[in-house]
Structure 1
Amino acid sequence: MAIVKPFKAVRATRDKVALVSSKSYEAYTIDQLNSKLAFNPYTFLHVINPGYKYHKKEITGEQRFKLVHNRYLEFKEDGYLKEDEVPGFYIYEKTTPSHSYCGIIAATSVDDYHNNVIKKHESTLHKRELLFEDYLKNTGFNAEPVLLTYPDNNSIETIIEKYKINRPEYEFTSTDKDLHKLWVISEESDLETIINAFETVNTLYIADGHHRSTSSCMLAQNLAKQNSEHSGNEPYNFFMSYLLPESQLCIYEFNRFIKDLNGLNTDEFLIELDTIFKIENKGQELYRPKEKHHFSMYLDGNFYSLALRKSAYEFDNALSELDAQILFKTVLKPILGIDNIRNSSKIIYSQNKSGGLELKTKVDEGLFKVSFGMLPTTIDEIKNIVDSDLIMPPKTTYIEPKLRSALTIYEI
């Protein structure tokens, strides 16, 4: 049973929300970031980049986090951000040129995370966990929700549709041509209906935001130890999440680009592959695999189809069925000598939304020797791996939607 809780969001006034909210800080190039900071005095990026005010670029660690807190207070004092008077849930709909997503922003429980009601599919880096925990502790807020997904639920969908017939609290189009709408749910009966509906949901799966959720839980544990009157109802016992039905997730694959053939020439490499795959030279055809356990490869000006020989590989659990794991176990590690796919300098990853053309261009430009593509992972594969207490390899899934920063803010 999943616990969700309404909260008093701090958010922009209706007239300024399009200017205050932004994409995630990491989504901007340096030039884009500088342009936003120079020409938009309302953007939340001024909060995240507090050194801009003092013309300082290199502010790090606790000093930077305290300045972030100060800029945040200034945004509240200047009236750009205001806290809602009563707790609520927030229906957020994002419509891109190709997809539409609609879910509920809510506070979710750190106890659910520890009790495996909220489940993760990726490993996290402890260094990043500690960094973000320190960030949350010093700034006192979180402006980007964790993306959680759950099996489609008619009761929850009914409530969402009830509100969507009304005028949104927010409705604006961002410069990337995405339409954003937000409705506020504050009626006690509707809040209770949503709380009860999520109590029937057995598992919430983290789709995006593994470090944010883990760091929030670490902070909660530490603050609970320091609080002699800890009750379990303090804001730090929850973290902000965007809960989206499984059917609305978009999952893309990551392509793999390898810098060398580990001392092999092309013919020797193909002979090694022939033991594991049925290989077909596709020439200049922009080949993309059409079924699981098939891969595309671009090497020396040619596309290849690689179909796994089932007799050459053992399927023994849900993870072993995953194409990213198959590629690692059969090619990247034994043939190309890449033991650590998280940190190896011989491999990079790129999310594939370009139809596979990037597989060819980066190799033709001489940046890499060989590239590999595969089909996207499905939500059922992710759930099977998670429910088996297994962890997926890094850069297996690129999941959308990517969420706005500072659309709603959760204070800790």
Structure 2
Amino acid sequence: MTTKATPLWGDKPDVEVYGERLRDARLIQRLRSGEVATRAGVSQSWYSKLEHAISTKLDWQKANDLAGALGFPVGFLASPPVTAVQRESLLFRAKKNLPKAEEDLLVSWARLVGDVIHAAEPRLRLPLLRVPRIPIEVGPVDAARFVRQALGVPRSEPVPHLIRTLERGGVYVATIDFDGSLHAKNHDAFSTWIGPMLDRPLIGVRASDSWERTRMSVAHELGHLSMHQTRREGDLEAEAYAFAAEFLLPVETLKREWPRSVTLTSLVPVKKTWGMSLAALIEHGYRNGLLSGGQRTSLYKQMSNRRDPASGERMRIREPGWRDREVERPKLVAMVAEKAFGATVDPESLEPKVFGWRADFLKTLFSGQVTAWARDFSGSIDEASPHPGSMADVISLSARRQLAGR
């Protein structure tokens, strides 16, 4: 009689995989569930059940097959999710026809940012959140004034670097340059609350060569974060836009600096000082009674017909002053990662420290951050920002603590 040989180390144990991890691994790559199922050699219906379950225990081989089909390590699929994302607040700036797949994609990117911060938190003292949550009865103009005060921005002064101001106030910002079909074409920015307690604000902004558009988009999302965390009624977009204009240029100052004879040329100095586009200034002036409807229409027609001498493009596409500032880019997420995981950590070494997120996605995330560490980590070239600043700009540190099991 023959006996079956017993493996020296025993059978490999079952693996508990989490549905949310499966979804993130698939959606961040824009893969269809049927495609993943075919690669893994399983039925689509069975795979869909896995994604919709909180967790499922699988034998090691099946878990390994799924990991291979998704191109993510088994450790990622087996990591309990730690970053909740408030989906309802995610896409305020999206057009109504934004496909659900694009929303899911951005949820996955938001979770990646949250996981990096969560893994780093035990090693650092992160910035305190200074953005207040505004009561429902407060309008956007007063809300902008309250938030200016909370962030330490005087009412009569411009905001020199909006993203840096928000990062000092505990807001995380991520600029991600999605390529081709992987980017959400229908909006410029999103905001949401992330973290185990949904208490960390995140603004995601598309990479852009327009400093004006970037500033307005970020200020717009700040309005949503402060005014609309729980409220869904009303014209939220109009409120966020009014908040953004007031935050960047308070109305009493707008009236004081408004030119007597309003032309595109006379508005350019206001634009340069306060960091707002001509289009945003026209709307701000019109809403506050400084322009008639006819004047507003005339200025827009001029912007459509006239060309910027420096670029040769119509002013509605490329405004005068478009080269006067660098496009603002964030650095807080990169600074957190550098201080938590070390100045010499490489993408492959960082993978297991942040729940198995793949190195190429980590590189994409940090390529949108403007520090020397982020440049070296992602292999990007960042000639526009030669002075990345110091950690003291945005974050204070406590003694580093080691993470058990990380």
Same fold (TM over 0.5): no
TM-score normalised per structure 2: 0.27
- Structure with greater helix percent: 2
Higher RCO (CA-CA < 8 Å; seq separation 6+): 1
- Structure with greater strand percent: 1
TM-score normalised per structure 1: 0.27
